[in-house]
Amino acid sequence: RALCPLVPSAPAALRALPPPVAVGVLHTTRPLHTTQQSLAPVPPLPEKGGEVRHGLIPEEFFQFLYPKTGVTGPYMLGTGLLLYLLSKEIYVINHETAAAACILTVIVYGIKKFGPGVAAFADKLNEEKIASALAMKNEAIQTLQTAIEDEKKEQWRAEGSNYLFDAKRNNIAMLLETNYRERLLMVYNEVKKRLDYQVAMQNLKRQKEQDHMIQWVEKNVVQSITPQQQKESIAKCILDLKALSKSAHAAV
Amino acid sequence: LPAAVLLKDTKLMDVKLGQLGTWLAMRDFTPSGILGAMQRGYTRYYNKYINVRKGGLGGISMVLAGYIVLSYMWSYSHVKHDRRRKYH
């Protein structure tokens, strides 16, 4: 204990020391955090894709030509291009053209009729996926919330342990007190027993001495009464009795 | 004084017509450069038309139209024989 006085409060002692030399000096030669972070949170998907007109030409093309040619510019360009291709027979009309026309008609008709239905179905699938993912996320958040609540409750419970320790300390004090008093009583009883024994011994001894002496005195007295004395005492008694009987006769 | 952007870093739409030749010459034509350019183009198209919440028809129909045009160009030498007029 004397050799290491700091042991009981080591963290506080360590904190009190001066900070080491390397603290505050960043050991880097290149800048950190220059690029944008590419990880979470991931930005959400855009709602709609790029605009496409007639399913084939991006809207940007129309916007590109609008300042110079107005609204009909791209259509004029398309018509002119088509006529040029046809007249120069860069696009040749043959049996494949007829087949393409029929196929395209069927395709366009199919899309116009079933398009919205298929789109709604796909949207529903997407919605379900998103909803399930969202539900998982919310559930995870909820679990963590309840975990936080439980943790706080545990901390509150840990505070109550002080009362528990006080009660336990009281119990132990009472036990010690009880034990001490029991032993005190035992000591008292034992001492009393020993003293009583001594008193009883003395009483017994005196009593025995008394009895013995009385007996001895009686025995000696009886021995000392000789036969002579016995006769004289009996004659005396008879005379006394006669005198008494005379006085008794006289009284009657 | 606005910072002068190097010709190498300008986008195609910002290049003036006279500078087009120099700009094309400065592009990266190594295999990895070409691959990178294809990857970038694919990613741009994908993120703009397909990787969205409510994708439309235009996303795939543009790809199919491009394929049709390309295959017509490849088979033109065979289709040439069905022309009605020989000289235009």
Contact B53, A127 (CB under 8 A): no
pLDDT of residue A133: 94
| Helices and strands per DSSP (H, E), number in chain B | 4, 0
pLDDT digits (tens, 9 = 90+) for A42-74: 777 888 888 888 888 888 889 989 998 989 999
pLDDT of residue B54: 83
Rounded mean pLDDT of A218-232? Answer: 84
Phi, psi of A58 (to 5 degrees): -65, 150
Phi, psi of A48 (to 5 degrees): -125, 150
List the one residue out of A234, A89, A228, A52 whose CA is nearest residue B45. Answer: A52
pLDDT of residue B1: 47
Decide the pairing of beta strands A57-58 and A52-53.
antiparallel
- Contact flag B88-A55 (C-beta cutoff 8 Å): no
- Contact flag A56-B58 (C-beta cutoff 8 Å): yes
Phi, psi of A94 (to 5 degrees): -145, -160
pLDDT of residue A209: 96
pLDDT of residue A48: 84
CA dihedral B69, B71, B74, B75 (to 10 degrees): -110
The model's confidence at residue A91, banded by pLDDT at 50, 70 and 90, is very high
- Output B26 or A107, whichever has higher pLDDT: A107
- Output B1 or A32, whichever has higher pLDDT: A32
pLDDT of residue A38: 63
- Percentage of chain A beyond pLDDT 70 is 85
Rounded mean pLDDT of A116-142? Answer: 93
List the one residue out of A92, A123, A143 whose CA is nearest residue B86. Answer: A92
For residue B58, give the nearest of A52, A94, A123 by CB distance: A52
Nearest chain A residue (CA) to B64: A56
Window from A89-93, A126-130, A210-214, B82-86 with minimum mean pLDDT: B82-86
The mean pLDDT value of chain A amounts to: 87
List the one residue out of B61, B35, B77 whose CA is nearest residue A50. Answer: B61
- Output A162 or A203, whichever has higher pLDDT: A203
Contact B85, A90 (CB under 8 A): no
Q: Is the ipTM of this complex over 0.85?
A: no
- Percentage of chain A beyond pLDDT 90 is 58
Burial class (CB in 10 A: 0-12, 13-18, 19+), A90: middle
- Contact flag A45-B52 (C-beta cutoff 8 Å): yes
Ordered DSSP codes for A164-175 = HHHHHHHHHHHH
**What distance in Å separates residue A38's CA from the closest CA in chain B?**
16
Stretch (H or E) spanning A52: strand A52-53
Q: What Å distances lie between residue A161 and A105, A156, A158, A175, A216, CA to CA? A: 83, 9, 5, 21, 82
Rounded to whole angstroms, the Cα distance separating B74 from A119 reads 35
**What distance in Å separates residue A124's CA from the closest CA in chain B?**
11
Window from A36-40, A63-67, A129-133 with minimum mean pLDDT: A36-40
Rounded mean pLDDT of B4-8? Answer: 73
Whether A52 has its CB under 8 Å from any CB of chain B: the answer is: yes
Rounded mean pLDDT of A197-209? Answer: 96
Nearest chain A residue (CA) to B81: A92
The model's confidence at residue A169, banded by pLDDT at 50, 70 and 90, is very high
The residue to which tokens 């986008």 are assigned: B11
Nearest chain B residue (CA) to A92: B83
pLDDT of residue B19: 84
Rounded mean pLDDT of A210-239? Answer: 89
- Contact flag B58-A115 (C-beta cutoff 8 Å): no
